[in-house]
Amino acid sequence: MIEIKNVSKCFEKVKALDRLSLTVNDGTVFGLVGSNGAGKSTLLRVINGVFKSDVGEVLIDGENVFENISIKNKCFFVSDYPYFSNSATIENTAFLYRKIYSNWDEEYYKKLCSTFPLNIKDKIINMSKGMQRQSALILALSTRPKYLFLDEIFDGLDPVVRQLVKKLIAADVIDNGMTVMIASHNLRELEDICDYIGLLHKGGILLEKELDELKLGIHKVQIAFNDDVDESIFDELEIVNKSRSGNLFRLTIRGAEDSFMPQLRALNPAFMEALPLTLEEVFINEMEGAGYDINNIL
């Protein structure tokens, strides 16, 4: 289990993480979403012991992770721009990982090398961005991590490889109880793979929910009336967003469908339809709710 307790991290005057607390259960896939500069990458770096938090602590399996070799041995972090030296190949990087990760799985490594369309003797630095990420993933998964941390892993991957990656991750989660934290702006991909979503904003966690609960907890509703109605008729509902075009209203309502639909029906609409939001829509709505003025940005 990953426990992040009241963690703060400042870079000179910029507060990247602000008293952030979060718990990630074992065997789950946790998606970290948030606006640019929300602190997603910093959080992953603190969790992996790359950065030391100014305040608070990160516990993995009950132990502080900073400079804790036995805990780090269970983790693998693939950063947003994975580093490879000029002479690095998958083969010679595996030479190092094989020695320093006690759980290195040679068979699985060979299997992954044959699964991904890569030559292990090629210099990684000469590979495309997507292929570099694949190389990083081969090495990461071969260490058989109990905790895998991925930062923008889908960036640059083609659709087929994206599916392959998701499949491999899901298999490891199911078969080995691996815990995965993925920070990404690709909400469509996160929607497919994540169990939990954490929304970061200005260094703090805005919301943390199970994906289904998150998606089912907010709906977009289109509702039309024959007559002209006053907007105050929706006052009793928890409206997140509202727009009007004549007598047609588009509402984003927080809450379960069962709870607000009877109230809307009672208003005798001419037409009414409720749909769950995509993760992207949830993200935009929540960010708007947090004061992130999307209309002005756009």
> What residue ranges bind another protein (CB under 8 A)?
11-12, 45, 48-52, 67, 69-70, 72-73, 75-77, 79, 81-83, 85, 87-88, 92, 95-96, 99-101, 149
Q: Quick one: 101 or 283, whose CB is closer to another protein?
A: 101
- What gap in Å lies between CA 69 and CA 256, rounded to an integer? 45
Beta bridge partners of 151: 183
Of the two residues 100 and 267, which places its CB atom closer to another protein in the complex?
100
User: Smallest distance, Å, CB 28 to another protein?
Assistant: 20
State how far Cα 246 lies from the chain centre.
Answer: 38
The least distance separating another protein from the CB of residue 196, rounded to whole angstroms, comes to 22
State the CB neighbour count (10 A cutoff) for residue 195.
Answer: 16
Q: Using the minimum distance from each CB to another protein, give the nearer residue, 30 or 149.
A: 149
Judged by beta carbon, residue 50 or residue 261, the one nearer another protein is 50
> Nearest approach, Cβ of 175 to another protein (angstroms)?
23
- Structure tokens, 55: 């305040």
**Cβ atoms of 196 and 28 closer than 8 Å:** yes
Give the nearer residue to another protein in terms of CB position, either 11 or 271.
11
Q: How far is the CB of 70 from another protein (least distance, A)?
A: 8
50 vs 224, which CB is nearer to another protein?
A: 50
Q: Strand 2-11 and strand 14-24: pairing?
A: antiparallel
Instruction: Find the shortest distance in angstroms from Cβ 132 to another protein.
Output: 11
Which strand ranges, in their side-by-side order, compose the sheet holding 248-254?
Answer: 239-245, 248-254, 218-224, 271-276
CB of 246 to another protein, least distance (A): 53
